[in-house]
Amino acid sequence: MKHNPSTGHGADVEKAYARVLERVSWAGVLASVVAYTFYVLHLLPLSVSVESIAGHWHLGADELVARGIVPSGWEWVDYLPSADMLSLAALAILSLTPVAALVVASAAFLRRKDYAYVLISLVQIVVLAVAVSGVFTR
């Protein structure tokens, strides 16, 4: 009998993980297209004007933040729904893709009573959450 990886041990988890990766990735791509459209067509106001950015193009990101021209860290959320910050929101959706997939995988592992894998996936979620929180940044 041939081994069929699509029906073997763990195939249900792999399929669920892949399904979430696909859906959340496409949601992020769609959000990026919508945000770009809003930005280009000026359908929403900008939090930082194009002229301001163009006039300060020579500055690094730290200097832009120090001068109060652009928000720092999670401050961009306060500027929603401005068109330029919608692009960051779309990137946030894309960056949540592995977390969403790990949540689904954790649930699938829990249903199968694979507690070691539940623990591993939950630890990965915690590590990603801590990384995105900025707890260990200056």
Average pLDDT, the chain: 87
What are the sequence ranges of the domains in the chain? 11-133
Question: Which one has a higher pLDDT value, 49 or 36?
Answer: 36
Residue 56 dihedral angles phi and psi, to the nearest 5°:
-120, 20
> For 32-48, how does the pLDDT look when each residue is reduced to its tens digit (9 = 90+)?
999 999 999 989 998 88
User: What amino acid occupies position 137?
Assistant: T
Instruction: Grade residue 72 by pLDDT with cuts at 50, 70 and 90.
Output: confident
3 pLDDT above the threshold of 50 = no
CB 132 within 8 A of CB 94: no
Cis amide bond preceding 71, omega within 30 = no
In whole angstroms, give the CA distance from residue 132 to residue 4. Answer: 38
Classify residue 94 as exposed, middle or buried by CB count within 10 Å of its CB (0-12, 13-18, 19+).
middle
DSSP 96: T
Single pTM value for the model = 0.72
